[in-house]
Amino acid sequence: MSDLPRKAVTRTAKLAALPLGFAGRATWGLGKRIVGESAEIVGRELQQRTAEQLFKVLGELKGGAMKFGQALSVFESALPEEIAGPYRVALTKLQEAAPPMPTRTVHTVLGERLGEDWRELFLEFEDKPSAAASIGQVHRGVWHDGREVAVKVQYPGAGEALLSDLNQLSRFSRLLGPLIPGMDIKPLIAELRDRVSEELDYGLEAQAQQTHAEEFADDPDVLVPAVVHQCDEVLITEWIDGIPMSEIIRDGTQEQRDRAGQLLARFLFSGPARTGLLHADPHPGNFRLLPGGPGGDDDWHLGVLDFGTVDRLPGGLPTPIGHSLRMTLDGDAQAVYDLLCEEGFVKQSIELDPDAVLDYLLPIIEPAQVEEFTFTRGWMRSQAARVADPRSPAYQLGKQLNLPPAYLLIHRVTLSTIGVLCQLGATVRLRKELEEWLPGFLAEEGVDEEDGMGEEEAAAEA
């Protein structure tokens, strides 16, 4: 019997308690105000209680509820600071930890999947999990050939729980929306639901991770642990140590923050070009900073974990992204608008002012306009406020833009990455990574003026 609380009635009740709890605490706050406590003190206590309940419920349920919490956690930098403080700690916890499943359940799964003599495959196996996430937890061990390994064990019933949670959360999306002002929660939940089957398939994850491990085997900046063994509900990979990025965000030096930010941008932009895959779950729990980069022990390189969610991009990131970014930087409003129309970002039934579209885009791409850019929570909040204020022209224009399905995951990964960079407060040479890895960004020659395609693409289209 599963230890994951997955009965529909139980899980629905726990999730339903979130918005009800928000309302209850608001009533509690009003009572405190009536008896004379200051609004500032009451507000701070209210947010802290809300954050604690959010972590408690999402963490206990694991499944889709925790996956949703992890997705939200990278966007906390968009919250106003007076709200972000209490939520920051609670949401960041969801990147690294959750209540573990009992040892007996772990042994049962390993016995069913690896055989009754599964212990003989290991020289050592730690019953206490080193990490617990949304659909599985990780145990440290030593494989029979002496390699230190990470043993990822999927929670029994995780698939059912994921779908149940996300279905229920979609019903509460309007109530959960205020957690991240200016962000439409419902599409995020719908996309997470679409990715469930892939993330549950450890065979697909093993293929994606091994592809990256082989490609980055001799890379001085990035380390991806190799796959050791895989079967249903169990994935065993090489173990890597390092400082979790969540710790760098909390306590890291500025040097560590800048290095982590640069390497994160480099990995996420270079990955599709080198492997045809985009790591699509860039929350801090999936990255480690390890000593011993190209500059020696005093330097750092990036360890990358968890390839359960990837976007398959055989040709790398779509060339129109690079073309549109380049034309936006060049101030060519009409060319940008034409390409956005062609790619489906502007529906045929809508006509917009190209100059207004350019004005909408320019602040967003500010990090690519300069040689290096310092990402801050303040900058993130200013962008969120600009596109979320109903009185703002940017808000009105943004509502008329469309996000084609092919770009959904790329868009979320981009936003999540920017969120992490802002959490780090990192100074990053983003333009350098775009020039090296983003198709079309430097391809000013050979671009078909009518449709924005390169010569080879235009020939293929013909």
**In the listed set 196, 213, 247, which residue is the last one of a domain according to the structure?**
196
In DSSP terms, 229 is beta-bridged to: 236
**Does 72 map to a domain?**
yes
**Does 268 map to a domain?**
no
**In the listed set 141, 171, 196, which residue is the last one of a domain according to the structure?**
196
What tens digit of pLDDT does each residue of 329-370 get? 999 999 999 999 999 999 888 899 999 999 999 998 999 999
- Residue 44 pLDDT exceeds 70: no
- Which amino acid, one-letter code, is at 284? P
pLDDT for res 394: 85
User: What residue ranges in 98-146 does DSSP mark as E strands?
Assistant: 122-125, 131-132, 136-143
CA separation for the pair 10, 13 (Å, rounded): 5
pTM attached to this predicted model: 0.74
CA separation for the pair 93, 55 (Å, rounded): 8
**In the listed set 180, 196, 212, which residue is the last one of a domain according to the structure?**
196
Q: What six digits make up the tokens of 255?
A: 């040097």
Q: How far apart are the first and last CA of the chain?
A: 58
Greatest mean pLDDT among 44-58, 215-229, 409-423 lies in 215-229
Task: Give me the mean pLDDT over the 416-424 stretch.
Answer: 92
**Per-position b or e across 344-372, b if 16+ CB within 10 A of its CB:** ebbeeeeebebebbbebbeeeeebbeeee
Percent of the chain with pLDDT over 70: 64
CA separation for the pair 411, 7 (Å, rounded): 34
Residue-number span of the structural domain to which 73 is assigned: 8-99+159-196
Tell which residue, 283, 250, 376, has the closest CA to residue 68.
Answer: 283
Q: Are 313 and 271 in contact (CB under 8 A)?
A: no
Tell me how many domains the chain contains: 2
Q: Are 138 and 151 in contact (CB under 8 A)?
A: yes
pLDDT for res 42: 32
**Does 185 map to a domain?**
yes
CA separation for the pair 16, 21 (Å, rounded): 9
Mean of the per-residue pLDDT values of the chain: 77
- Residue 328 pLDDT exceeds 60: yes
**Does 420 map to a domain?**
yes
Residues 49 and 186 in one domain: yes
